[in-house]
């Protein structure tokens, strides 16, 4: 048997259409098998709250064995997983090709799918993760939506917490009345024909967050790409399905992958690369979709053609060189490396990109933000997320930079909220930026 972590981790196809996948007896046996290895290793004790909960359950039996833990108690462990993927990619020495064959995130997906088959999806979780419906609905009345979801609204937020389970303390994303795709169509930037990368063509996959909540990420990307000679268009066939994946709704993710990949394949056939604006979405297109639909030709093509936005800018810098015009960003940047950017196994591309800016101090914070997408906004989870973010926030505060940036907008929002408690006068407490927005600022765009 080979020792763990001596080979690159590999992942198996998710066998979600096999009836055995949600068979309760076989699932319980597999949960116990993998948890038994985790209990014997305990390397992940400080990674998230799921593993300490598991180890406490084992220790409480007094027998130091996983077989003494009741099966119904496993749900409390699995509910704490945010699908950050860090246990698989950075901590566990027993992932495939090791014979122990551990994949805790995908095991938890299997468990959640089985729970859904048995009990149905929680109604409010279903509503919270319907990002396209929510974006269109609240985008039609952004003033009212943003007033109702504003942190500190004593009329609406306690009601949201009591009814929908959304913690009243969490800062929620705002909605825009004009989507990124609409803005890109109405005001396309002029392409710089003198740039070294002139001739490249991309389709910017807008993502639900940039399209409905933060179009500035998209407009900054368009501006930077145009300045570098890239013919870019914004497209948004629909959500990648990451919010549904978190809930274990794998069949729904498969449907979305089929529909969205068919549209993105048309852009690839037109000679365009695919650039995703949010790392969770890039992760889905590159890695999760092919594990859910391994035989779909459109999914395969999209996986091969997709870049994270920072990854794409660094690729331009290495192959053709960036267009001139970058200027120092006064005060420097604290860059949080998002877990789903790290999970793409591409290196710290956000940091590489920002370090292309001359005379700018970039400090990298490579710790969990604690947030975890829709998981982090729920009552109970938000306090856990805040606890796990404390050391990350401290590192940001200690850096004393002017700007806080994160590739994950939700992680950045959570860290900025944490900065309020450490130093409310800090400019980083007022909000975070995506690294591409910092690059656009450096260009004066």
Report pLDDT digits (tens) over 363-408.
999 888 888 888 889 998 999 899 888 999 999 988 899 999 999 9
DSSP assignment string, 379-422: TTHHHHHHHHHHHHHHHHHHHT-SEEEESSHHHHHHHHHHHHHH
Pairing label, strands 273-276, 362-365: unpaired
Measured CA to CA in angstroms, residue 140 lies from 46, 71, 98, 186, 278 at distances of: 43, 46, 51, 18, 23
pLDDT per position as a tens digit, 77-91: 999 999 999 999 888
Task: Enter the pTM of the model.
Answer: 0.94
Give the residues across from 275 on adjacent strands.
Answer: 204, 307
Residue 6 has a pLDDT of 63
pLDDT per position as a tens digit, 204-250: 999 999 999 999 999 999 999 999 999 999 999 999 999 999 999 99
**The domain 180-239+250-318: what is its CATH number?**
1.20.1050
Encode burial over 125-160: b for 16+ CB neighbours within 10 A, e otherwise: beebbbbeebbeebbeebeebbebbeeeeeeebeeb
DSSP code for 368: -
Q: 302 and 264 in contact (C-beta within 8 Å)? A: yes
Residue 196 has a pLDDT of 98
Structural class in CATH, domain 326-443: alpha beta
Q: Is 202 helix (H, G, I), strand (E, B) or coil?
A: strand
Q: Using 50 as the pLDDT threshold, list the residues of the chain that sit under it.
A: 1
Give me the residue spans of the domains in the chain: 19-119, 180-239+250-318, 326-443
């Amino acid at each position: 048997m080979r020792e763990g972590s001596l080979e690159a981790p590999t992942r198996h196809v998710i066998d979600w259409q096999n009836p055995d996948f949600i068979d309760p007896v076989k699932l319980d046996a597999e949960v116990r098998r993998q948890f038994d290895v985790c209990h014997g290793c305990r390397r992940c004790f400080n990674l998230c709250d799921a593993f300490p909960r598991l180890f406490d359950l084992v220790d409480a039996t007094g027998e130091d064995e996983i077989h003494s833990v009741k099966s119904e108690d496993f749900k409390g462990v699995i509910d704490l997983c945010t699908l950050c993927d860090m246990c698989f990619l950075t901590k566990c020495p027993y992932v495939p090709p090791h014979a122990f064959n551990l994949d805790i995130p995908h095991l938890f997906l299997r468990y959640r799918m089985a729970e859904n088959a048995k009990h149905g999806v929680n109604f409010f979780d279903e509503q919270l993760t319907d990002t396209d419906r929510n974006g269109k609905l609240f985008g039609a009345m952004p003033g009212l939506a943003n007033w109702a979801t504003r942190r500190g609204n004593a009329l609406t937020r306690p009601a949201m917490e009591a009814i929908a389970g959304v913690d009243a303390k969490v800062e929620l994303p705002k909605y825009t009345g004009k989507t990124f795709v609409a803005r890109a169509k109405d005001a396309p930037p002029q392409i710089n024909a003198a740039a070294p990368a002139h001739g490249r063509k991309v389709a910017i996959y807008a993502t639900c967050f940039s399209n409905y909540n933060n179009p500035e990420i998209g407009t900054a990307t368009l501006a930077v790409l145009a300045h570098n000679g890239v013919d870019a268009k914004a497209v948004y066939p629909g959500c990648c399905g990451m919010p549904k994946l978190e809930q274990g709704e794998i069949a729904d993710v498969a449907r979305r992958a089929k529909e969205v990949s068919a549209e993105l394949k048309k852009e690839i056939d037109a000679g365009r690369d695919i650039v995703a604006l949010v790392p969770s979405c890039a992760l889905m297109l590159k890695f999760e979709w092919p594990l859910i639909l391994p035989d779909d030709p459109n999914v395969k093509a999209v996986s091969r053609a997709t870049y994270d936005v920072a990854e794409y800018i660094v690729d331009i810098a290495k192959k053709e060189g960036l267009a001139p015009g970058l200027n120092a960003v006064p005060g420097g940047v604290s860059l949080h490396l998002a877990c789903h950017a790290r999970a793409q196994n591409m290196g710290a591309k956000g940091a590489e990109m920002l370090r292309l800016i001359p005379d700018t101090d970039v400090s990298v914070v490579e710790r969990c933000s604690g947030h975890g997408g829709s998981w982090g906004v729920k009552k109970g989870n938000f306090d856990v997320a805040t606890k796990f973010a404390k050391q990350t926030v401290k590192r940001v505060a200690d850096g004393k930079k002017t700007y806080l940036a994160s590739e994950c907008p939700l992680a950045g929002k959570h860290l900025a909220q944490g900065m309020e408690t450490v130093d409310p006068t800090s400019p980083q407490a007022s909000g975070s930026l995506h690294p591409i927005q910092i690059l656009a600022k450096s260009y004066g765009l």
